[in-house]
Structure 1
């Protein structure tokens, strides 16, 4: 699906509302989401069938030019093949007309994106962990979701209903006045809508093109450095030397006792068994819903606290400096994983990025992951080679400064803003931090692996040897990409 690009002066924003459907409307919602899952599974089976057929033919000794041709997975190709098969396929022939065409298009678009991600991952053209081949979605585990891009998509004038294709008018649990006011004023245009079921409640999320309103910050010439932590969620130090700490609410720890009790109740009920095909009992479903409500409340409390923090910071300072934390690596520490996940370090950085850029036209500087903010003295600039995590007070051997470890790191991050005179400083320019010698304070050589040689050459300014697969053209056909399968 083609990515939408907003017009100059406009941004794409989501408005999400909880729904209150009646019994008939809820059956229609589940039917549409089930149709999207069925179309996805059909696309995965249709594409991979040619893969297995080719593999079987190769084992028979059939020549390459006589093998079964690859089946394309582009969205237009999948739509064409699905439209030809839905009339004859017994899985769709009797009920496909009951749902909107957007439901099937949602599943086909998701399948096309899944195959694209798999091919890019195999060709080393996708960041992150390796992606495997797309798998079928289970009816019991699949998330109920469906997207509408065409047809009647609007917010009704009474502020209490929304209208979606084929589903009709649905009552909302909360007023839609915030979006309705913008639509009526001509400063917003609805692009698409997505219905989704989460923890016992249906939601409608509208993708809206909204006119950008820039608000001037309170202190445009001030910069703030934010040091994130577990004991204290954030330590804020501005360019004037003022330091203030934001306590960690620890929402998950507050309900941990209740979660344990509800989990024990769920474990004592007769739950589903995939191996034997046993369905869950009514008491298990009721207990599981009670446990999910606790999780859902914690999620909402955490999101509310993070939004309040990031909104206040973005509205006050002209420059915000945050660290590029390796959150995935930090979560491997089993002693701190639960509290790190509860803090939401990645979400804080994401919210600061778009709020400073879209709402206030200020900048966010992302310090390098190897910048020694905690090891460097904020007074004289001396750097320590080692600083264990259990040492919470920084004592400088050069100037004798004694300061809290987190306060020292926040001051160093705030001072980093003055040195970053090039680049826009937004999330796209993550290398705007000044180059420092020996940034990690390493006292031994790095292992001579392919990844470390590449990183060392990049830091030293030398030529980086490309990966052999990266020297090939990036405009590969699907058949060439699938030779790696």
Structure 2
């Protein structure tokens, strides 16, 4: 079993410069590879393997013009070449869109770290060749401080998979996969059904109800603050707009605009962290009950987003993230994860007698069965139907 861990780095100013330069090397190698593949395809040539391109890139580093590449880890460029070749292959297989050149302004700065060269301690991480000096005091530049202590296991026998360093616009992060022994314990408790909604995040068939965190005072306060900052940024851009000779309008980005945009980034990051943390708390609590199976409905989120009155509320609930967390945590704990068919009538079916109610409206918050007289909360009734669906399949 492979678990992914992501931790924030705390580099000093010199280390930040080196990290951005390393990301620039990865971007250069990726764009160079993509350009080679495009030119080769136009000339009628066959696909060039990443092995051949790596050899060619090694020769490129020996030229005077590109000698600066030797100051950085060889593995950064090698992996970037491989990534570009993989993206090109995926396009021709129909698995992804046509690969685009990486832009200094728009693309996310990131680079690969070799698994044999990376080193962890309880508080620091060592990256390869951030400095070319062999002096002891300069070698300290290779060691970057971690924001969390003892989070990543280290020592003999620990295997690291695909370590990547990335920048999200505010902070630098290290993400790495680590091999753990498989969990052999099999859950034996009763299975559950989960109905997702907007008023409440989740209603579980065992009676548990999880609130919508977006309705809390803290989130509402931060959302108001976000609106005010967005207006400020917009006004600043309008003040600094320049009219060109041909009638074209351009906007000048001043230092005050950059400060406001950084504040906005931090606020967005805080909102995202609060929502993700809440989803982790909810999904972990559900998994800790050790049900034999979990059933969720396959929601048409893209279709629901077309409703302009509900689109923002649906977006803030992060249904996909909830599914993703619940799915991988279920796999780790040997819990069967079932996604009910999209057209399964979980809300319109009576969980007690199985009769179908055609005229159920969205405004009806209670389900009243005409056949057996059962009265239940609409969402709780749906969660019971999902549980019954799982019992038939499992």
Q: State the TM-score, normalized to the length of structure 1.
A: 0.71
Q: Which residue is equivalent to 2:235?
A: 268
1:335 aligns with 2:309: yes
1:247 aligns with 2:208: no
1:161 aligns with 2:131: no
Alpha-carbon deviation of 1:361?
Answer: 1.8
Tell me: CA distance 1:386–1:278, structure 2 relative to 1, closer, same or farther (3 Å): same
Aligned partners of 1:153 and 1:192 also within 8 Å: no
Tell me: CA distance 1:150–1:224, structure 2 relative to 1, closer, same or farther (3 Å): closer
Aligned partners of 2:40 and 2:47 also within 8 Å: no
1:13 aligns with 2:8: no
Tell me: CA distance 1:34–1:332, structure 2 relative to 1, closer, same or farther (3 Å): farther
CA distance in 1, matches of 2:192, 2:284: 14
Tell me: CA distance 1:398–1:413, structure 2 relative to 1, closer, same or farther (3 Å): same
Larger relative contact order (C-alpha < 8 A, sep ≥ 6)? 2
Q: Which residue is equivalent to 1:294?
A: 267
Alpha-carbon deviation of 1:50?
Answer: 3.4
Q: Which residue is equivalent to 1:388?
A: 361
Alpha-carbon deviation of 1:253?
Answer: 4.4
Alpha-carbon deviation of 1:106?
Answer: 3.4
CA distance in 1, matches of 2:18, 2:185: 42
Choose which of 160, 169, 184 in structure 2 pairs with 1:190: 160
Return 342-351 or 42-51, whichever deviates more.
42-51
Gaps of 5+ in 1: 1-10, 54-67, 422-485
CA distance in 2, matches of 1:276, 1:150: 49
Choose which of 300, 311, 328 in structure 2 pairs with 1:326: 300
Alpha-carbon deviation of 1:370?
Answer: 1.6
Return 226-235 or 258-267, whichever deviates more.
258-267
Aligned partners of 1:374 and 1:408 also within 8 Å: yes
**Aligned Cα root-mean-square deviation (Å):** 2.5
Q: Secondary structure of the residue that 2:129 maps to in structure 1? A: coil
CA distance in 2, matches of 1:15, 1:162: 14
CA distance in 1, matches of 2:334, 2:82: 34
Matches within 5 A, 1:358-373: 358=332, 360-373=333-346
Aligned partners of 1:322 and 1:413 also within 8 Å: yes
Alpha-carbon deviation of 1:88?
Answer: 4.7
Alpha-carbon deviation of 1:215?
Answer: 5.7
Alpha-carbon deviation of 1:309?
Answer: 0.7
Q: State the TM-score, normalized to the length of structure 2.
A: 0.86
Choose which of 12, 16, 19 in structure 2 pairs with 1:26: 16
Alpha-carbon deviation of 1:199?
Answer: 3.3
Gaps of 5+ in 2: 131-141, 243-247
Tell me: CA distance 1:313–1:329, structure 2 relative to 1, closer, same or farther (3 Å): same
Q: Which residue is equivalent to 2:139?
A: none
Q: Which residue is equivalent to 2:223?
A: 256
